[in-house]
Amino acid sequence: MWLPPVDRVADNELEAALSHLVRDGVYAQAMGALTGGVLLVGYALALGASNLVIGILAAIPFFAQLTQLPSILLVERLRARRLISVAGSVLGRLILIPLAFLPWIEAPELGRGLLVAGVAASAALGAMAGCSWNSWMHDLVPERRLGLFFANRLFYATSFTLLTGVAAGIFIDSWAQLDIGLPVHAYTVLFLLGSAAGAASILHLTQVPEPRMAPPERTIHLGRMLAEPFHDTNFRRLIWFLGTWQFTTNLAAPFFTVYLIAQLGYNMNFVLIMTVISQFANMLTLRKWGELSDRYSNKAVLALCSPVFLLCIFAWTLVSLPEKHAYTTALLVLLHVVMGCAVAGVTLAGGNIGLKLAPRGRGTAYLAASSIVNAVAAGIAPIIGGLFADDFAARELSLILRWTSGPEATEFVTLRLRHWDFFFLLSPLLGLYALHRLTLVDEAGHGHERAMMQEIVIETRRAVASLSSVAGLRLMNTFPFGRIVQAARAKRSRPRPPSRHGGEN
């Protein structure tokens, strides 16, 4: 068998494997940045896509998770997760190459249809690969290192994506200024570069060993396998939380790019800069969230980051209140910084808590069941958003204050909700229910949510108490990393222990 499983992974092999996984994550993230997210929305808009098409493109990656159903059977029958993951990744990423040449199709409707079909096929194959990858990582990465390892992996991947995003923004802007070809042709180059990054990711993935799966105790029945996680009370509660959370956030988040371009009038280069800022904040806080999740619990991190993210979605209604103004750009920068920090914690802890609560040896079924529920919830949300977007475009809710003095009257618009603002208000309201579901989940750990909150509050108070000095102000600006830097400096200032020969080092 090509890429066969192994009976045992030695310590040195594990360290080498984790190093390859970091590199795999870096290139995979770069591929996603160049062929998905903001750039995929920009590509679709350049091809003339409607709001409904944008919603469908946002929903495809989630509905593609349903292909984990046949993938579960494939994993249990072949018991070769690395082979399945690599094969699915190769096929899925090859599809990206013809998608790069859609601007040369003369029929615009056909081009948009092929874009949707191609993205769907690539995402479906990627989801099949992801199902086997999750089970593979569940048995490979030690539980005690889950938080910090995946935090480091996301840190390096996000760091590289920052550079990729900046370069992509400069490239698109330069392409338009140099008049090399049509603006949409810039996306052709980016898609081809993304395909190359995907190939580099696969090369590193092939170097990671796969622990052999334990022999099945009984005949595999897909229905029974998927039903088993729902009979586990605690894991069922986790599935409820993750599902409601995915629906809540994806009702609004996929349309941030459209909102910035269509309603606020910013260009794609500005949107990419905002994305880079958010990813930079994400990168800076990942390791801290990883440490906190290992020290306390993933639930503690979720309990802090989830409400912050919901408040950020609500704050999108305020950045242009009542109209776009001189401070809108500054508010957007601040908003993207806070969102980046919150998303880092939610993404890391939300992924790790499923890995942690799934029983050893049964991770495939548990994680697949969770992914399927998440996929359905997250896939329905942007389609609903796309369907109702045009309807909300013709509606407006305003709160007007009127000052009357004699025959003269002055009116002040204090609140104006229109188009996407309705989604940014509805999403956090629904999110309150998701937060309620989180409180019902039990997670064994070294601490509790309150203990972590107290630690962060203590750090904040110490920083605020020293604001009278320049050093204190600098410490506050770097929170929550100020305490880490301070501890590192104190460690360097300590006298070194004497050498074995009795002298000083």
Cα–Cα distance list, 283 to 211, 294, 389 (Å): 30, 18, 32
Measured distance CA(370)–CA(357) in Å, rounded: 11
Residue 166 CA to residue 188 CA, distance in Å, equals 17
Helix (H) or strand (E) holding 411: strand 408-418
Q: Specify whether 130 is located in the same domain as 203.
A: yes
Query: Quick check: 61 and 122 in contact, CB under 8 A?
Result: no
Same domain, 364 and 473: no
Choosing from 392, 417, 435, the residue where a domain stops is 392
Note the pLDDT of residue 113: 92
The alpha carbon of residue 457 and the mean position of all alpha carbons in its chain are separated, in whole angstroms, by 26
What's the half-sphere exposure (Cβ side, CA atoms, 13 Å) at 298?
Answer: 28
Give the tens place of pLDDT for each residue, 399-431.
Answer: 666 677 667 766 655 566 666 677 788 888 888
Residue 456's domain comprises 448-491
437 in a structural domain: no
Residue-level pLDDT at 455: 65
- Please indicate, yes or no, whether residues 242 and 382 belong to a single structural domain of this protein: yes
Say whether both 388 and 460 belong to one domain: no
CA-to-CA dists, residue 427 to 37, 74, 446, angstroms: 20, 37, 33
CA pair distance 32, 246, nearest whole angstrom:
19
189 vs 173: CA distance, rounded Å: 13
Measure the CA–CA gap between 41 and 498, rounded to whole angstroms.
61
Q: How many domains does the chain have?
A: 2
Residues 375 and 463 in one domain: no
Whether residue 274 sits in one domain with residue 136:
yes
- pLDDT, residue 96, reads 92
φ, ψ dihedrals at 397, nearest 5°:
-120, 120
* 77 falls within a domain: yes
Radius of gyration of the chain (CA): 25
Residue 178, in any domain of the structure: yes
Question: Do 333 and 481 reside in the same domain of the chain?
Answer: no
Which residues, other chains included, contact 482 with Cβ-Cβ below 8 Å and sequence gap of 6+? 459, 463, 474, 475, 476
- Whether 504 maps to a domain, the answer reads no
Is position 425 within any domain? Answer: no
Give the domain-ending residue among 363, 392, 421.
Answer: 392
pLDDT score recorded for residue 416? 65
Tens-level pLDDT at each residue, the chain (505 residues): 688 888 888 888 999 999 999 999 999 999 998 998 888 988 998 898 887 888 889 888 888 878 877 887 888 888 888 999 999 999 999 999 999 999 999 888 999 999 999 999 999 999 889 888 888 888 888 877 877 788 788 888 878 887 888 888 888 878 877 777 788 899 999 999 999 999 999 999 999 999 888 776 666 576 777 788 888 888 889 999 999 998 988 888 877 887 888 778 887 778 888 888 888 888 888 778 888 887 788 888 888 899 999 999 888 888 877 677 778 888 999 999 999 999 888 988 888 888 788 877 666 678 778 888 888 888 888 888 777 766 665 666 666 666 776 677 666 555 666 666 777 888 888 889 999 988 888 877 545 666 666 666 665 556 445 444 444 333 333 333 333 334 444 444 445 444 434 443 3
Tell me: do 139 and 269 sit in the same domain: yes
End position of a domain, from candidates 356, 373, 392 = 392
Say what the pLDDT of residue 479 is. 37
